[in-house]
Amino acid sequence: DTGVSQDPRHKITKRGQNVTFRCDPISEHNRLYWYRQTLGQGPEFLTYFQNEAQLEKSRLLSDRFSAERPKGSFSTLEIQRTEQGDSAMYLCASSLTGTKTYEQYFGPGTRLTVT
Amino acid sequence: AQKVTQAQTEISVVEKEDVTLDCVYETRDTTYYLFWYKQPPSGELVFLIRRNSFDEQNEISGRYSWNFQKSTSSFNFTITASQVVDSAVYFCALSDEQTGANNLFFGTGTRLTVIP
């Protein structure tokens, strides 16, 4: 059974550069979520998709952030013009709909460092 | 607004001791879900349990047990006979209508260290 995978695991970039992260959910899961986790804090919700539709966005998701899930399978999260405050772990999770909706399964995360 | 408080920032216990991790939550909704996740040093959050607001039965799974008390808005987690592999950060989380019912609102976590 393949879990949620994320790529890359680590990314170091200079301020002002654009970065893109990828998430591959568990294959039968139609919901996909993005969270951000800073040091010493719990994850904070960014956005979620049901199939290819982006149904909810947090106000944490500024206009420099964009997420897509073009075919309802993998998803990408892009950050444009990165700032040092964007340094964090970016976590992806997936779940089923129905009675198992609230059981989200997380990937290993992408750690972003903006220098 | 919803809130999840994990007042214990760090706990250290000696192997084989029992340990309880506290979680207190706030929500205005009558329907909500509570969760515990484990985040080992590798970083990947591991789902442990989900409990809905209508089910106050306590649950036991091996060395893990959960005590849900609506009267005190608490959802505490006990590890019996702790082991070194239990060392991790543990997060309590809430999902309700205010969170959009589709995302999780996490506490700040409790770092548990089990000393051999």
Give the 3-state DSSP-derived string for chain B, with helices as H, strands as E and coil as C.
CCEEECCCCEEEEECCCCEEECCEEECCCCCEEEEEEEECCCCCCEEEEEEECCCCCCEEECCEEEEEEHHHCEEEEEECCCCHHHCEEEEEEEEECCCCCCCCEECCCEEEEEEC
pLDDT at B100: 64
Instruction: Tell me which residues of chain A have a C-beta less than 8 Å from any C-beta of chain B.
Output: 31, 33, 35, 40-45, 48, 55-56, 58, 89, 91, 93, 101-109, 111
DSSP three-state, residue B70: helix
pLDDT at A55: 86
- pLDDT-derived band at A101, boundaries 50, 70, 90: low
- pLDDT-derived band at A1, boundaries 50, 70, 90: low
Indicate left, alpha or beta for A43 from its phi (over 0: left) and psi (-120 to 50: alpha). beta
Nearest by CB: B47 against A48, A104, A108: A104
Instruction: Tell me which residues of chain B have a C-beta less than 8 Å from any C-beta of chain A.
Output: 4, 33, 35, 37, 42-47, 50, 91, 93, 95, 99-100, 102-109
For B17, which DSSP code? Answer: -
Consecutive sets of 10 residues in chain B, 116 residues long: mean pLDDT of each?
Answer: 92 97 94 93 90 86 93 96 97 83 87 97
pLDDT at B36: 96
Segment A34-85, tens digit of pLDDT: 999 999 899 999 999 999 998 888 888 889 999 999 988 999 999 999 999 9
Residue B95: which residues within 8 A CB-CB, separation 6 or more?
A102, B32, B33, B35, B101, B102, B103, B104, B105
Cis upstream peptide for B41 (omega within 30°)? no
Select from B7, B6, B4, B53 the least CA-distant residue to B26.
B4
Select from A57, A30, A62, A31 the least CA-distant residue to A46.
A57
